[in-house]
Structure 1
């Protein structure tokens, strides 16, 4: 499949091997030999996959990968499967209610659109239908899931912090974080960044060097946050232009964007006319660094040096942390494995990696 990173992620049938590898070291839901699992495997059954509408970007690719996996299941014949998409949380809640009002499926895989879907997920659990949650994990109901499949959101923050430290960031340096939304995803990405700097979290097997370790007081004083950008490039562009209306903010060197779309918003602002040339000169004097995450090919092209060269030649560097939409296939495979009576890890975290100019050619982004 063209849009899966070559190094990081396992999708489709390969997810079974990943599940087996992780099961031995994670707290899991064991269904081996269970009556429910054996019955489902013997009789087959229907799996419903609920995701966001496949419109564009990361969410759009989640839908594309989900449909691909659904088609694979239907072709294999042991189970039937269908994909339902929704553009709003209210629509997704209605989908769940409709499903529960009919014949109970063998299992449900759900990417909650926001935290208001909690009540619908609780209804699934109360109906004793096994479900797998993907990407947005709602803490209040996570213990009832067969598996909670997600990228390493804490690792995304840690990876960005590690990249900054490797490139000279010192304790107390000013940092600006462009946040995604108000969900647990953003909280984990925020906390991963600061936990790495405090020395409480590893990235790529190592903690922050002792002489680069921050105190909580330094974090509180030096790190500023944007508030929810709603994963929007245009919102970030406007917010960045407004922020640099105060030239003092142009002296910030370290810019942690919690998504590639947000990083592109910064680049588009720098490429446009909403920031004065004088302020841009001040900004570029620091040789600033910008990070993102996700795997957007448009941003990978920036990292490769194939676009926005007039801007990147004035930057210290640009980087992204992997968070592939192909992970939805792992979530669906977890449900298949559960129904087959196999063991799956309940807390199923898929590791991330830093993508820089040095290794970007090892990865394929999504459109």
Structure 2
């Protein structure tokens, strides 16, 4: 499959490529534009040999999740950027394939393996969900090295070259530490906007509560003994249920929350993604909340956290947008969970093929991004 992709899309000269599978397939006109742009890049870089699949080191395939919202879309962008870099260097060829569902991702794996092409030297995969374990097992059985990214499947993780992911527990711990640093006391009311029902959400919840009870640390430090929470204190933490990583769903949910005036006393809002945090900000900036309730909520100087690195969020943190609203808040913060981590996963595969030592469990440390340090961090759209 990937040979066809290279010959059809790269036209013998493209530096990198992205195939949209399933319902996300591009139109013919879009594909033509992609071919032309890729050809120009390849010719400019002198990578005709790499584009033709003749690189001495062989071929690397990168399978990512669908481009259905900002973070995953940015993963594909960073993956293409890294693939282009590899193709320009000329030792290996690299190809990025995005798929809209798990069954198609498994099909891609089965198709590649069935070809038995010896030029396929490694696969980097961001599994759509846990059902992709069957496909990954086929990669393992075929003796093809693989690197897992973001969604790590426990049943096959020990066979990976490396498992690259952000620190989901660290995101929760970072948010809790930020709240405590700004005055959160044991038993204060906290509202958590959850992403979905996956292990990602469970880990972000766990990191948050574990920091408060003294079981986890952030930035090498644990909560002070006199600020630790008890199990009874944790009953003051309210969870939204799955927001499906959706800004609009969170906006609607927050408007509903403040539809009850008694909820205007919430001061600590932990959103488990920047999209969710932006849903809250848009709700506060819009007309869906009674102005008197909104005024009461903001009078508490609320603190809102997200994570990811979304430019909309960083812009608000910098003070470039929503200036009046943010000025009335206690603070706005985003924990890093950059989609650029896919480039670390791809580099891990290259390093493995080069015979270099690779970290097996490659967890990318997270950092709290505030108005004081936001200029030091790169965002994504």
Given the alignment, which residue of 309, 313, 334 partners 2:323? 309
Mapped contact 1:137–1:184 kept (Cα < 8 A): no
- Matched residue, 1:24: none
Does 2:72 match 1:44?
Answer: no
Per-residue deviation at 1:337? 1.0
Per-residue deviation at 1:43? 5.8
- Matched residue, 1:276: 290
Does 2:99 match 1:86?
Answer: yes
Given the alignment, which residue of 103, 112, 125 partners 2:116? 103
- Matched residue, 2:143: 128
Aligned residue runs from structure 1 range 2-21, under 5 A: none
Which deviates the most, 200-209 or 43-52? 43-52
Given the alignment, which residue of 172, 176, 180 partners 2:195? 180
Q: Which secondary structure state, in structure 1, belongs to the residue aligned with residue 371 of structure 2? A: coil
Q: Go from structure 1 to structure 2 and tell me whether the alpha carbon gap of 1:359 and 1:123 turns closer, same or farther (over 3 Å shift).
A: same
Partners of 1:229 and 1:289 in 2: CA distance = 19
Partners of 2:224 and 2:91 in 1: CA distance = 51
Deviations along 1:247-297, one digit per CA (max 9) or x if unpaired, are 222211110011111100001111122211122122112211000111111
Aligned residue runs from structure 1 range 1-367, under 5 A: 44-54=57-67, 56-104=69-117, 105-219=120-234, 221-367=235-381
Per-residue deviation at 1:166? 0.4
Q: Which secondary structure state, in structure 1, belongs to the residue aligned with residue 158 of structure 2? A: helix
TM-score (normalised: structure 1): 0.85
Q: Which secondary structure state, in structure 2, belongs to the residue aligned with residue 345 of structure 1? A: coil
Per-residue deviation at 1:98? 1.6
Unpaired runs of at least 5, structure 2? 1-54
TM-score (normalised: structure 2): 0.82
Per-residue deviation at 1:366? 1.1
Partners of 2:70 and 2:361 in 1: CA distance = 26
Mapped contact 1:138–1:184 kept (Cα < 8 A): no
Deviations along 1:156-207, one digit per CA (max 9) or x if unpaired, are 1111000000000001111111111222221111111111111111111110
Q: Which secondary structure state, in structure 2, belongs to the residue aligned with residue 148 of structure 1? A: strand
Unpaired runs of at least 5, structure 1? 1-41
Structure 1 runs of 4+ aligned residues shifted over 3 Å read: 53-56
Partners of 1:94 and 1:180 in 2: CA distance = 28
Partners of 2:230 and 2:108 in 1: CA distance = 47
Per-residue deviation at 1:56? 4.8
Partners of 2:135 and 2:194 in 1: CA distance = 27
Per-residue deviation at 1:151? 1.1
